[in-house]
């Protein structure tokens, strides 16, 4: 693993708060960076990718308040990553079943370690996402 920075594409404030709480349980050594929009994440990835320990991607992104530009999709980020050398695991957390598999295949065929988790029920970030993160980061 090249770094410990956790990069997350997510547009929902409640989920972001829940991800932040889940990551806190990993300890202080796992800083987290969030993006609401795929184009902004893609623009920033070249400067942070070498620090990444894990990337977590949603697919469907909603416009944020007072924003008029299309936020893009997680598939756009997956396509960008597929053109880069695999550097860390990627976890897809999307309810969009078909597009999640498109993202998965894009990354897998490019040699990335990738898995997916379905956001199901309340608290899924702690009980479903976090165990996958721990497994992918080799944390006991």
Distance in angstroms (rounded) separating the CA atoms of residues 115 and 40 = 23
Q: How far is CA 115 from CA 14, 39, 47, 105, in A?
A: 23, 22, 24, 10
Strand residues in the chain grouped as ranges (E) = 5-9, 32-35, 52-57, 90-92, 114-116
Distance in angstroms (rounded) separating the CA atoms of residues 74 and 94 = 9
Judge contact between 34 and 57, C-beta under 8 A: no
Structure confidence by residue, pLDDT tens digits, 48-92: 999 999 999 999 987 777 766 889 999 999 999 999 999 999 999
Half-sphere exposure of 61 (CA within 13 A, CB side): 30
- pTM tops 0.85: yes
For 128, list phi and psi in degrees, rounded to 5: -115, -50
Structure confidence by residue, pLDDT tens digits, 105-136: 999 999 999 999 988 888 899 999 999 999 99
Show the domains of the chain with their CATH numbers.
5-136 (3.40.50.2300)
Q: What is residue 2's predicted lDDT score, i.e. its pLDDT?
A: 54
């Amino acid at each position: 693993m090249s770094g410990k920075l956790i990069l997350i594409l997510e547009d929902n404030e409640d989920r972001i708060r829940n991800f932040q709480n889940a990551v806190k349980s990993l300890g202080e050594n796992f800083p987290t960076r969030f993006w609401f929009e795929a184009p902004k994440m893609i623009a920033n990835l070249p400067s942070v990718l070498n620090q990444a320990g894990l990337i977590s991607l949603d697919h469907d992104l909603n416009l944020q308040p007072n924003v008029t530009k299309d936020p893009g999709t997680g598939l756009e980020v997956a396509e960008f990553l597929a053109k880069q050398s695999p550097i860390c695991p990627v976890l897809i957390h999307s309810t969009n079943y078909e597009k999640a598999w498109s993202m998965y295949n894009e990354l897998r065929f490019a040699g990335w370690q990738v898995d997916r988790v379905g956001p199901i029920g309340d608290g899924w970030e702690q009980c479903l996402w976090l165990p996958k993160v721990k497994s992918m980061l080799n944390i006991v």
